[in-house]
């Protein structure tokens, strides 16, 4: 499986839906995914394969230092 659907969970999803292609799982509705994978995991798979992410965006902290490499004489 692609994206975050690797490891044991990805293998489980691939087995349940008899595919290793995310494009095949895109055809399933959110309700179908929840019915087969459970409420939380089904919703997560539905959102993840569609690029939906509700997690909070964290702003970057100010850069405190910059690396500098001196030129190498030729």
In 1-74, which residue ranges form alpha helices assigned H by DSSP? 7-17, 22-25, 30-37, 39-49
Break the chain into its structural domains and give their ranges: 7-49
pLDDT digits (tens, 9 = 90+) for 24-53: 999 999 999 999 999 999 999 999 999 999
Region 7-49: CATH code: 1.10.150.20
pLDDT digits (tens, 9 = 90+) for 49-70: 999 998 888 887 777 666 777 7
Percent of the chain having pLDDT more than 90? 59
Coil, strand or helix at 18: coil
């Amino acid at each position: 499986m692609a994206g975050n659907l690797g490891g044991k969970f990805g293998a489980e999803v691939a087995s349940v839906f008899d595919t290793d292609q995310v494009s095949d799982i895109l055809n399933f509705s959110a309700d179908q995914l929840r019915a087969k994978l459970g409420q939380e995991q089904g919703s997560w798979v539905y959102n993840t394969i569609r690029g939906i992410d509700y997690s909070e965006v964290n702003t970057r902290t100010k850069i405190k230092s910059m690396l500098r490499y001196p030129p190498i004489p030729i």
